[in-house]
């Protein structure tokens, strides 16, 4: 009997040991690594710049030019003649610096100049487009005011022209040029208006109406 109990005891010890051995936890596994953060999305590329726009029609109207005798130097009013020659006439010339007469205006623009004149022999009260010509009181020649321009400059010419070869004409270089009030208008040319402008504008109001100047 004692032997049987001894065997039963041994069996129970073996069972307990086996049970304990089977329920024992294993060693902890290595820690897992943290997941990597997602990358930021790339920024979209900027669009390319558009081509520069072309210049619009630009109008420049100057202030009135006030000229007296001392503003005029000596020179010539010249025009080309047939065969490549040049015809010149003595003139008094005033040169005015005008920055708005650009190379583009010189090549394709329009410059119009007005002289302030009178209708009542007292004081100037109207604008007349150059060239301006009037007969002298003594007869035999005309008094002329005209202009020319190049890049950056406007030139006003004052001179006499014979109408009678027998008449005596004053020496243009020794006379006193009267005070002149003028106004010039610079236009970009006819390309932006669809049709060519009239060869000569009769008055300032007609010009403003044609070019839609406000």
pLDDT value for 165? 86
Mean pLDDT of the chain: 76
| String of DSSP letters for 17-44 | HHHHHHHPPPPPPPPPPPPPPPPPPPPP
Average pLDDT, stretch 179-207? 66
Residues 109/92, Cβ–Cβ less than 8 Å:
no
Q: What pLDDT was estimated at residue 120?
A: 77
Helix or strand (DSSP H, E) at 149? strand 141-150
Distance CA 103, CA 163 (A): 37
Judged on CB neighbours under 10 Å (0-12, 13-18, 19+), 158 is: buried
- Name 185's Cβ contacts closer than 8 Å, sequence gap at least 6: 59, 60, 61, 62, 111, 112, 113, 114, 207
Residue 129: the pLDDT is 95
pLDDT at 87 over 50: yes
Q: What are the tens digits of pLDDT across the range 31-52?
A: 555 555 555 556 556 667 666 6
- Of residues 157 and 83, more confidence is placed in 157
- pLDDT given at position 205: 64
The rounded percent of the chain whose pLDDT value lies above 70 is: 59
């Amino acid at each position: 009997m004692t032997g049987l109990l001894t065997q039963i005891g041994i069996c129970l010890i073996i069972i307990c040991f086996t049970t304990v051995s089977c329920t024992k936890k294993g060693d902890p596994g290595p820690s897992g690594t943290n997941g990597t953060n997602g990358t930021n999305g790339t920024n979209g590329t900027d669009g390319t710049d558009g081509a520069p726009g072309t210049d619009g029609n630009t109008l420049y109207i100057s202030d009135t030019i006030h000229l007296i005798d001392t503003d005029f130097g000596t020179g010539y009013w010249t025009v080309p003649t047939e065969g490549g020659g040049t015809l010149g006439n003595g003139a008094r010339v005033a040169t005015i610096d005008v920055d708005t007469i650009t190379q583009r205006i010189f090549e394709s623009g329009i410059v119009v100049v007005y002289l302030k004149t009178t209708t009542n022999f007292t004081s100037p009260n109207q604008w007349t487009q150059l060239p301006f010509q009037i007969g002298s009181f003594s007869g035999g020649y005309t008094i002329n005011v005209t202009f020319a321009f190049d890049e950056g400059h406007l030139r006003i010419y004052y001179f006499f022209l014979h109408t009678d070869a027998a008449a005596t004409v004053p020496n243009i270089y020794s006379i006193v040029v009267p005070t002149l009030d003028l106004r010039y208008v610079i236009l970009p040319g006819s390309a932006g208006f669809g049709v060519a402008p009239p060869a000569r504008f009769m008055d300032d109001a007609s010009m403003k109406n044609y070019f839609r100047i406000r």
